[in-house]
Amino acid sequence: MGSPLTQAFLGFSLVFSCAAADALNVLVVDPAGRPVSEVVVVVTPTAAQAVRVDPVARTHAQMDQRNREFVPHVLVIEAGTWVDFPNNDTVSHQVYSFSPAKPFQLPLYKGRTHPPVLFDRAGVVTLGCNIHDNMLGYIYVADSPWFGKTDLDGRWSSGELPAGRYDLHVWNPRLKDPPESLHRLIDVGVRLEVTETFKLDHKLKSERRQPTDAKPWDDY
Amino acid sequence: MLALAAWVMPARAETNADAPADDTHSFILSIDLRAVASDGLPSYLEGGGGKLRFDEDHDGVRIGRIFLDYRGRLTDTLTARATINTYGDHDNNPVDVTEAYLDWRPFPAHGWRWRTKLGAFYPPVSLENRAAGWSSPYSLTSSAINTWLGEEFRTIGAEVTATWLGSQQNALGDLSLIGGVYEFNDDAGLLMSFRGWSINDRQTPLFGRLHFIPIFGIFTPPPGAEFRAGFEFFHKIDDRLGYYAGIEWKRADQITLRALHYDNRGDLRKFHYDFDWLTRYDSLGARVELPRDWTVIGQWMRGDTSVGYIPSGVTQYYLDLDSWFALLSKRLGAHRVTLRYDEFGTDQEQGTGFRNWDEGTAWTLAYLYDLDSRWQLALESLWIDSKLTGRVQLGEPVSAREQQVQLAVRYTLRN
């Protein structure tokens, strides 16, 4: 409890609790105005702040494998989180990533064979299975404790957010809009509620469908 | 087989989510029995000029195929695979191997993955034969192109595939470059030259031999040499390596496009019990998985085969060959219906010797029903209209319409 970091963190918490706490609402819609769900929303303070509100509660997450798919398809976590990769399929998987944010390999396994993997660098990590090339999953590693995914109405709400300037980023592998248009600088604390709407200019990439066959085939 | 089944079954019983089964060794045992009705000409398997596996005198209750597919994990990235089968036809060995190979698939690095296969396996042409044991999940028989592939082709050698994993890098799909080198395919073209194209579900085993030779007696072996009795498919006559080179683009499992050039580089001057055949082809294929479990497959092939060296430079026998098919399949729960149309033909524009060419079309309609995870019923009707000029030598009509209806009961056991 006595480390300089903890003291700094407590200090900032006090400062923040004195500042106006706002809620940030984000809405993502496609060019036709329809809501887009499963979009990652991350709100990152632009200044170097000690933002880790509750380091213990956020340290573990899970990327499951079911029916030859990663579940969830997109997982968003804070940097410093350990992720478990249980394989609940009847077949073995061989999970890997060659993304710069976290290259790793989990040798062929089923169940909970491997210890969790630490994701300590911000960025998007693309997951694959070396046996089943159709399996594709994403882990968005955020440099902030404020993140989530839009719901079926295309909405996400931050809850209380300390006053300050933030980079607001929305991301999903299916978005085709240029990356810079998916970032926005926002100031929190001026108004009681901030609502940011992202209206996409481009249609989404078509969804990767998995064949629903009960007996997946071994491809030659 | 029963002993094997008893051995495989307990392994399955232990499988549950909390204690996943060790799949270091996996087996698939498939037993396929048929009730067949056919009005075909005497089958090529009996020495006739018919295109079908089962003819009028050889229908009734038959073994479709019994096979055992084995896959063993030797290391994390090295797998051994083998398939043994029996067809209950006039095969040399009652039980024989169709494929046996090592598959090395290291983890990708820098966006690329290298895959190497070593042993005996199929060249990557078929987009139809994608289930265990190189069978088709869409129908009982394979298209004319893939039937020929199963009968006369096997890569006995090595294949390397370099895949650029574009879908991992936000691109639209994965791109693969494929190259293979092989020996022991110097007979490829033999069956095509006599029988022409066929539509059936047989795969020639590695040590297999056909006892009857339809429309034969055309070639004179070199002085002092003798023919082996019957067709033997996979052996080495010359010292040249054959090769193939291909490219594939794949987007998830929704779209697969593939092109391949194949050349066995046969040396026409060689003879060792059999003539050496020079066989080359180009192959194109596309498979698209549409919403609501519709599948569309199309393949095209064009090539040639020749045999019998004559010093003037013209071969005794030269055959152009081409074929294509379109397949439409729809799955609805445990039911699947498939319709396929095939066109095929061979043509002789060169050659000094024996004249024999064929042409034809075929319709295949299949219905498959999974009763549960082990039992399947399949009903297939196949109509082939064909012309084969060499039938004259057998006293058969050159043109024929043959029909074959098969009801299959299939039992599949997996560990």
pLDDT at B312: 67
Contact B72, B61 (CB under 8 A): no
Q: Per the domain annotation, does A203 fall within a domain?
A: no
Q: Per the domain annotation, does A5 fall within a domain?
A: no
pLDDT at B298 over 90: yes
Name the residue with tokens 């094997």. Answer: B4
DSSP character at residue B206:
T
Q: How far apart are CA B118 and CA A132, in angstroms?
A: 20
Q: What residue ranges in B197-316 does DSSP mark as E strands?
A: 209-210, 231-232, 242-251, 255-263, 271-272, 274-275, 278-290, 294-307
pLDDT at B218: 52
* pLDDT, mean over chain B: 87
Q: What is the CATH number of the domain that holds B340?
A: 2.40.160.10
Mean pLDDT of B391-400: 90
A58-62, A154-158, B225-229: segment of lowest average pLDDT: B225-229
Contact A63, A127 (CB under 8 A): yes
Contacting residues of A for B174, CB less than 8 Å apart? 133
Interval B75-92: pLDDT, tens:
989 999 999 999 988 777
* pLDDT, mean over chain A: 83
Q: What is the CATH number of the domain that holds A63?
A: 2.60.40.420
Torsion-angle region of B337 (φ positive above 0: left; ψ -120 to 50: alpha; else: beta) = beta
pLDDT at B286 over 50: yes
pLDDT at B230: 62
Contacting residues of B for A126, CB less than 8 Å apart? 168-170
pLDDT at B142 over 60: yes
Q: B70, B168, B170, B288: best mutation site toward chain A, by most A Cβ within 10 Å?
A: B168
Confidence of residue B15 (pLDDT cuts 50, 70, 90): very low
A200-209, B175-184, B218-227, B319-328: segment of lowest average pLDDT: B218-227
Residue in chain B closest to A127 (alpha carbons) equals B168
Q: What residue ranges in B22-124 does DSSP mark as E strands?
A: 25-38, 60-73, 78-86, 96-104, 112-121
Strand B112-121 to strand B96-104: parallel, antiparallel, or no bridges (unpaired)? antiparallel
Q: Which residues contact A160 (CB under 8 A, 6 or more apart)?
A: A21, A22, A23
pLDDT at B360 over 80: yes
pLDDT at B144 over 80: yes
Q: Per the domain annotation, does A217 fall within a domain?
A: no
Residue in chain B closest to A89 (alpha carbons) equals B17
- Angstrom CA distances, B243 to A187, B160, B264, B280, stand at 64, 11, 6, 10
Contacting residues of B for A217, CB less than 8 Å apart? 130-132, 137
Across the interface, whether the CB atoms of A214 and B110 are under 8 A apart is answered no
Mean pLDDT of B251-278: 86
Q: Per the domain annotation, does A94 fall within a domain?
A: yes
Amino acid at A8: A
Q: Which residues of B358-386 are buried (b: 16+ CB within 10 A; e: fewer)?
A: bbbebebebebebeeeeebebebebebeb
Interval A24-46: pLDDT, tens:
899 999 999 999 999 999 999 98
Residue in chain A closest to B174 (alpha carbons) equals A133
Q: Per the domain annotation, does A43 fall within a domain?
A: yes
Confidence of residue B352 (pLDDT cuts 50, 70, 90): low
pLDDT at B177: 98
**Parent domain of A138:** 37-152+167-188
Residue in chain A closest to B99 (alpha carbons) equals A220
Q: B13: part of which helix (H) or strand (E)?
A: helix B2-13
Amino acid at B28: I
pLDDT at B308 over 80: no
Mean pLDDT of B336-359: 87
pLDDT at A53 over 60: no
Contact B301, B313 (CB under 8 A): no
Mean pLDDT of B154-178: 94
- Full-model pTM: 0.87
Q: Per the structure, how many domains does chain A have?
A: 1
Mean pLDDT of B62-70: 95
pLDDT at B207: 87
Work out the minimum CA distance from B111 to partner chain A, whole angstroms: 7
Across the interface, whether the CB atoms of B20 and A213 are under 8 A apart is answered no
Interval B91-138: pLDDT, tens:
778 899 999 999 999 999 889 999 999 999 999 999 999 999 999 999
pLDDT at B174: 95
Interval A123-177: pLDDT, tens:
999 999 998 888 899 999 999 999 999 999 999 998 888 888 899 999 999 999 9
Selection from B79, B129, B125, B75 nearest residue B102 by Cα: B79
Q: Per the domain annotation, does A89 fall within a domain?
A: yes
pLDDT at A190: 64
CA neighbours within 13 Å on the CB side: how many for B372? 4
Q: A68, A89, A98: best mutation site toward chain B, by most B Cβ within 10 Å?
A: A98
A78-87, B193-202, B229-238, B302-311: segment of lowest average pLDDT: B229-238
- Angstrom CA distances, B217 to B220, B269, B316, stand at 8, 19, 13
A127-131, B206-210, B218-222, B251-255: segment of lowest average pLDDT: B218-222
**Parent domain of B297:** 2-414
Contacting residues of A for B128, CB less than 8 Å apart? none
pLDDT at A23: 83
Q: Per the structure, how many domains does chain B have?
A: 1
